[in-house]
Amino acid sequence: MNAPAVAQPVPPAIKLIAPIWHTVLFLIALGSLTAWSAYRHGLPQFGEPRRSTSYLVTIVMEWLLAGLAIWGARLGGVSLQELIGERWSRPTQLFRDLGIGIVFLIGSNVVIAALSGVLHVGSNADLTRMLPHSRQEGMLWILVSLSAGICEEITTRGYLQKQFGGLMQNSSAAIFAQGILFGLAHTYQGYKHMITIAVLGCMLGWLARRQQSLKPGMLAHFMQDAIGGFLSGSH
């Protein structure tokens, strides 16, 4: 007699974390911010006062967009801790995530450097002009980098990746989708830089899924922006 077939368990469906209408609203806000950034970086630069003001505006915009994402998740019954990951209750957890972030930062930079070589990515004059050129700008740049590390991980690897996972019922496709949007949000840097940033976004998405936490990615993202800004800028 043939052995009875064993029923395979059906994997649980990936749930949406926010209402669909909120995601539409969020994407409109993200698209508007992207268009504004592209327009702003196409304007003539006027030195330090303009950079400092730009940094402050960027910080405000980052936190407003993150607030919109957090609000959407709360509408869907998802807490901030669920969106970000477990809290650090012991110093060892902080050092663990910091170590993971540093290892990821090194590995991702090797990948991005290789991809940049293949694409022949050159310097971007607009990007160079926006980097810090004085001690005051350097202090503001740290705040910009910290805001980007926290807020962009919440909005992309947190909100969008989880929401796309629910819409597509495929976590790998969700990583790819949020990575593309992450790259498109940096259109002002040129299409070659946009491709490398999209790849970086996918790698950060993979890290968030693997660790079930945004914190290692937040730390890596912050270090990437802060260190890159100081190394590329002139003082």
In a domain, 185, yes or no: yes
In a domain, 89, yes or no: no
Total number of residues shown for the chain: 235
Per-residue confidence (pLDDT) for residue 8, from 0 to 100 = 57
In a domain, 130, yes or no: yes
- Per-residue 3-state assignment (H helix, E strand, C coil) for 84-148: HCCCCCCHHHHHHHHHHHHHHHHHHHHHHHHHHHHHCCCCCHHHHHHCCCCHHHHHHHHHHHHHH
Per-residue confidence (pLDDT) for residue 223, from 0 to 100 = 96
Over residues 168-192, mean pLDDT: 92
The amino acid occupying position 133 is: H
| Domain extent for 148 | 20-33+47-75+96-232
**If 0-12 CB within 10 Å is exposed, 13-18 middle and 19+ buried, where does residue 231 land?**
exposed
In a domain, 84, yes or no: no
Query: Any long-range contacts for 113-116 (C-beta under 8 Å, 24+ apart)?
Result: 115/195, 115/196, 115/199, 116/192, 116/196
Q: What is the count of structural domains for the chain? A: 1
Summarised one tens digit per residue, pLDDT across range 43-101 is 444 445 578 888 999 999 999 999 999 999 999 999 999 999 989 999 999 999 999 99
Is the pLDDT score of 190 beyond 70?
Answer: yes
**If 0-12 CB within 10 Å is exposed, 13-18 middle and 19+ buried, where does residue 70 land?**
buried
In a domain, 220, yes or no: yes
| CA angle, residues 222, 211, 30, in degrees to nearest 5 | 50
pTM above 0.95, yes or no: no
Summarised one tens digit per residue, pLDDT across range 3-44 is 555 555 555 678 899 999 999 999 999 999 888 877 776 544
Residues 181/156, Cβ–Cβ less than 8 Å: yes
Is the pLDDT score of 234 beyond 80?
Answer: no
Run of H or E residues at 188: none
Summarised one tens digit per residue, pLDDT across range 145-156 is 999 999 999 999
In a domain, 198, yes or no: yes
Summarised one tens digit per residue, pLDDT across range 48-60 is 557 888 899 999 9
In a domain, 64, yes or no: yes
Q: What percent of the chain has pLDDT over 90?
A: 69
Separation between Cα atoms, residue 216 and residue 207, nearest integer Å: 8
Confidence of residue 225 (pLDDT cuts 50, 70, 90): very high
In a domain, 149, yes or no: yes
